[in-house]
Structure 1
Amino acid sequence: METQKSQGEKQATMASCRKKKNEEATFLEDLKDHIDEFVNASMDEHKTCFKKTIQKMFGMSKIVAERNAESKETTVSK
């Protein structure tokens, strides 16, 4: 029974970052859903989402840096 509880908690924290619920929702409807999710999220969900966002940002900056380095190499070799 304890394993079921921990698995449920893990799933809740894994699904913490927001995805649009309804593709046909208006901007205000989507914003209201977003605010409701934010207010009702647990601290663990906020922490997990924040960590994922930071990791994604650093991952994107690494990709951009690699592309810039590659483009500089090709212009120097030409």
Structure 2
Amino acid sequence: MEDLKDHIDEFIHADMYEHKRCFKKTIQKMFGMSKIVAERIADAKEVESSLPLRTVVSD
């Protein structure tokens, strides 16, 4: 609980430059993560799977 209080105090007493820097860093992380997720989805789509073909012949 003490760590949370310290973090809130740091946030409240930070100057505008620190807030801007933190905000920019957070946005970059968000876009970076979305890019990584998009790349993983694209990689997953490139995976080939082969399923046995079944043929049923009826008279």
- Establish whether TM, by shorter chain, passes 0.5: yes
Higher relative contact order (CA 8 A, sep 6+): 1
User: Which structure 2 segments of 5+ residues have no match?
Assistant: 50-59
Spell out structure 1 runs of 4+ moving beyond 4 A: none
Counterparts of 1:33 and 1:72 in 2: how far apart (Å)?
Answer: 45
Answer with 1 or 2: which has the greater Rg. Answer: 2
Counterparts of 1:62 and 1:55 in 2: how far apart (Å)?
Answer: 10
In the TM superposition, 1:38-57 aligns within 5 A as 38-57=11-30
Larger relative helix fraction: 1
User: Which structure 1 segments of 5+ residues have no match?
Assistant: 1-27
Aligned to 1:29: 2
- Report whether the alignment pairs 1:65 with 2:31: no
TM-score, scaled to structure 1: 0.60
Report the number of matched residues: 49
TM-score, scaled to structure 2: 0.79
